[in-house]
Each structure stands twice: as C-alpha cells, then as structure tokens.
Amino acid sequence: MARLQLKPSVIKKLFALSGNQCAFPGCDQHIVESSGIVIGEICHIEAAEQGGERFNKDSNDDYRRSFENLILLCPIHHKITNDVKKYPSPELRKYKSLHEEKFVREQLSVTDNIVDQAIHKYMEKHNKNEGSGTQFNNQAKHQIIGTQIGTQNIFQSSTQEKEFSFTEPMRSVNKSLKEKLDKLRDDATPPTEDVIDFQNNLFKGKTSKIYELPVKELKFRKENGRIKAEVESYEKINGLLDELSDATQDLLRGFLSKNDPEKKEVLKQQIKHKGQLQPAIITCDGFLINGNRRKMILEELYEEHHKNSKFEKMRVVILPENVSLFDIKRIENRYQLQDDGKSEYHGLNRALTIRENIKENYSLRAQLMDDPQYSDKAPQELNTIEKRFEKEYLLPLECVDRYLKTFNREGLYNTISESAGDKEGRWQAFIDYSNFYYSTLNNPTARIKFGIIESEIGLIENAIFKIIRKRNLKSTEIEKALGKVHAFVRGGNLKKYLGNDSAKKHLINIAKEVDEDIPESEKFDKEGNRYSEREIDEKWSNTTAVKKGVLGNLMKAYKAVNNHIERIKPLELLEDSLKKLNHENMKIDELGVENYKLALGFCRDISAKADELYELIDKERGKYNSLGKKAK
C-alpha cells in the first residue's frame, strides 16, 4: 500500500462542487481567496495510509484517492476533524454529501492553476508530516504555481455561463516615458542581476536584470502607502494630483521626507560610504515601487557633493510592461510593509493601506501570508495574528473614520497624524479608545456592568472625540490628575470614569456643551486665506467654550471619581462619621427589638472611640500650643 498521487480531474471536480466554501457545517471560510491563493486543504475521509485517521484496511489505494473519499475543508476544520471518535467516516461523508448537493446545479469549472496549487499544497503537507514523497520548496506553500495570482479568472459557471472574475486591471503605461527610459538605461556594473520578490520569481530563483538610470528621471508614486494619509487628505481639499507635474513630485517628496527622518539619515550614511546595496524596483515608465527614500538621498548627495556622478544614477530592476495593479500592491506589501528593519509605515498609513488592499480583494490573510515571518505559521496561529492586526490597525481606523465624520472632516487623515515622527499625532489615542469601544462601549453585556444605557453611547463617544481633538490639555493641574489624552482614553481609565454616575454625567456634558467646530468665518485669516486644519484645531481648542466645557467637566469628573480618596483625611472622616450618626434614617423606633443589644454594643464602642479620639486630639493640640509659646 502506498499513497498515490491525486488525479487533477478529481481535484477539479472536488473544487467545482465546493461552492468555494469549507464543507464543514456552518463554516463559510473560502477555499480559494479572491486573490487566487488556495487556502483550503484536501482531506481524506478514510486515511491514505495506515496509521492515519479513519484508515480502512479493507479499502484500496485507488479508492483512497478517489473523489468519493476526498473532502475540501479549511485548515482549522481539517485539524478539528482529526478527532476520529467525534468525526467518524460516516459523519464526514454526510458533511460532504450535504455540502456538494447545494452546488450540483451551479458547478464551477476550475483553472489548472488552482489544481496545481491544491496538489502542491497537499504534497507539501504530506512531505512535512511523513518525510517522504516528492519534495517541494517550502516557499511554495503560499505561492502561485503557474500564472500570476490575480491576473486570471478563477471560476466560471458551466451552466449559467456566469463568470466569477478576479481579473486584475493592468496598469496603464506612459509610452513616451517608457521610450525615454529605454534609451537612457545602461547595464549595471556587477552584480548585474538580482532575484526580486515579484510574482513567483523568488520561488523559482528567476533573476532580473539590473540597470542604471538617471535619478532625476525616476518618479514618486502618489499611491505609495507610506504617504497615503497625506495624499488622500491633500486630494480631498485640493483635487486630484498629477504625478507627471514637477509640483506634484515636489509635494510627494515633501510628504516622504517627513517619515522617519532618523532612519533616512542612517540610510544616507550607508549609501554615501557603501553605495546602493540593493536595486530599486520601478515600473517600465519610471515610477518607483520600492526605493523612494533612496531616490531622495541620492538627489541630496548629488547636490551636496557638487554634482558628483557617483550619485547621479540609480540601480533599478524594471518590471515588465504588462504588470497588473495587483502585482504592484503585492510588491509594496512584500518590501515595504514587512518588518524587515526598514523604515516602517507609521500606524495610520499602514492601516489605510491594509484596508484598501482588502477592499480590492487582497485579503488580510493573503497579505500576512505574503510576509515571510508569517507565511509558515499554523492556521490557528495565523488566526491569532490576523485578529491582532485587526485590533491594532483596522478597528482603530474605524474609530478614526467616525471621528472625522463627527467633525465633518471625512478623508482628512492628516489631521490624525502627519508622519511617523508626528509628536502631536492622535493615532495612539485611537488605538487605546478602540480597545475600550469594542470591548465595552459596543458590548451590551459590558455596558450593563458599567450602567451605560444604549442612548448614552453616542454622547460618550462624542465627548471622547472632543477630548482627543483637544489633544493638549494645557493645564498642569489637569495633566497631573488625568495624564496625557491618549492615556485618559484607555479602557481601564474610561471604565473607572464611566462606572461612576457623577463622573459619567460630567463626561456626557462635554458632548452637550461643546460645539463640534468654530464658525466658518473664523477659519480664514485677514487676507482670506484658510487656516490649515491643524491651525483650526488650535483655534477651536482655545475657545472659552472648549476650555470650560472640556477641561472644566474633566476636572469635575476627576473629582467625582477621586472623592472617596479625598474623604479619607482625618477631619473628613470625623465629619462623615457625625453625618452618619445624624442621618435622617437613624430612627431608633425602627431599630427592632432583636437588635437592641447589638446596637447598644455599637454605641458603647462608638462612645469609647470618641472619648479616645478626643483625648488624642486634645493632647496634640496641647503640644502645638506649648511649641508656640516656646517660639515666642
């Protein structure tokens, strides 16, 4: 008995009847990502070999690899169904039958690319587990075998002629720029080739030729994820940018120069003394996908060293003309978003890029699997990583969008943070608030615990957004009491305030008493020029209404929360004790006969303690008076 290789025809039929969903009841996990990556797994109902789950010694190898004995599951349910007691063969056959019946009338034909991926993935799993069989490079686990991901149709309905297309649009090429670069490019000095992470080149070990081009002929892309917030905000106010204009190139250069200036200086010294170690990656018409910072540095060094030809040209790998927009996204993700020691996108730009990729069918899971540090993670661990990315990037970004909408600033992401080094940025505050919002404010069970009713949610969020917009509390007393803004909006802190009825009332008053904006007429200077959004923030923040409404209510909330701490001083404790003894509810006739003896005991103890305290206080007063007389 030996494990036989799977038949492509069987795999095609298996995928055709899958509906592109895991066959486990209630699971809607895709088998093939919209980007074209196969993430599902081919599973045996009866094991292919002795020692495997549900192995049937009375069967044969041909049946074991047959359509009837195979089922498509997501990685999680593949592992779960290894529990043979809970999931015997008849149970899995039932799952398979019920699932496939749903898609009999809408069978989907599957490309050879999908079949290749599925078989390679199956064999890799077998090789890893058993150490036998045909060996495949481990990088193939999440790579496409055959045609590039996303540039082809994945499924096509054979009965309704309905096409399920994941075809990615090709990037339009500026022909005149391409022709110019074709004439200007020179073969690079050794090394003359490099393997770049484009399509399957890394997996295949396919090299690309390196050229040298004048730095001044290369252009920045406005789609660069590093400056996504800045570009979107600028275009929101000023209209679309023309990448070919010198003014736009200068603007993009300015945006890029603000990101991680410290790391830029380190790279500058490296290039100055060692040269360009790795080639940049550009489109065939000269737009940089990877290497924007190097272009800026070479430009600076060229001028600083009196137009030294050493810094006049840039080493580049030129992508083919038929590159797709999806190809570019994957290159950017692989080179710029990965944690490989290069300058990181600051959080907001990274969040915006991740979300845009998801909207364009490049799922978060696929983006993570494109990153070498995550590509070999087990499904359960990958699920944890995916949730962490959602928590650190996508959920805070949802809060940012609601914040911008509150202040009629949709799309103006640069008002949140302008660069990685923006010390006045608000991104951290949204990470902290997001954790509280999704765990408590948006959680009915948690809200009940803190006495928050549904109608208060909007008011509480409005108040918190105004506190975040205030940014700088500008009060030593308040900052000493409350800490920095982003610290105040952390979950543990907010729970403390919202769990106190009086403090909650003061926070809600911020929403009710403070306007969202200043009058439109106050947003312009004497010459009629509109102030920047950050300057408008400052003017709003300095109005009397905001100072009183935000700072005043925050201080009242702080005192309400900390009142019990303030009331533990000796004089306050004595006063509180007297108030309780004189309380209107101290009605002896309602004490109850059965409590007389106990109550008399309390009175005796209270009287003794009162006498003791009286003597101690009087003694301390005597010492003080004595010291006063000696001083005279």
Could you read off the pLDDT of 119-178 as tens digits, one per residue?
A: 777 776 665 554 433 333 333 333 332 333 332 333 333 333 333 333 456 788 999 999
- For residue 165, give the 3-state DSSP assignment: strand
Q: How confident is the model at residue 344 (pLDDT cuts 50, 70, 90)?
A: very low
- What is the pLDDT averaged over residues 198-202? 80
8 A C-beta contact, residue 413 and residue 232 = yes
Cis peptide before 191 (omega within 30 of 0): yes
pLDDT at 122: 75
Whether the per-residue pLDDT at 574 is higher than 60: the answer is yes
Cα gap 28→33, rounded to integer Å: 12
pLDDT at 267: 86
- What is the pLDDT averaged over residues 101-110? 66
Express as a percent the part of the chain with pLDDT over 90.
37
Could you read off the pLDDT of 428-444 as tens digits, one per residue?
A: 889 999 999 999 999 99
CB atoms within 10 A of CB 236: 14
Cα gap 273→265, rounded to integer Å: 13
Cα gap 104→459, rounded to integer Å: 52
Q: Which of 84-93, 122-131, 251-260, 391-400 has the highest mean pLDDT?
A: 391-400
Q: Which residue has the higher pLDDT, 110 or 503?
A: 503
Q: How confident is the model at residue 285 (pLDDT cuts 50, 70, 90)?
A: very high
Could you read off the pLDDT of 51-62 as tens digits, one per residue?
A: 889 998 888 888
What value does the mean pLDDT of the chain take?
82
pLDDT at 496: 86
pLDDT at 169: 67
Could you read off the pLDDT of 452-472 as tens digits, one per residue?
A: 999 999 999 999 999 999 876
Worst-scoring range by mean pLDDT, 19-33, 294-308, 326-340?
326-340
Q: Residue 606 has which token pair?
A: 């209270």
Could you read off the pLDDT of 239-248 as tens digits, one per residue?
A: 999 999 999 9
pLDDT at 147: 30
Q: How confident is the model at residue 479 (pLDDT cuts 50, 70, 90)?
A: low
Task: Specify the amino acid at residue 174.
Answer: N
Q: How confident is the model at residue 116 (pLDDT cuts 50, 70, 90)?
A: confident
pLDDT at 515: 94
Cα gap 374→367, rounded to integer Å: 10
Whether the per-residue pLDDT at 508 is higher than 50: the answer is yes
Q: Residue 136 has which token pair?
A: 């495949």
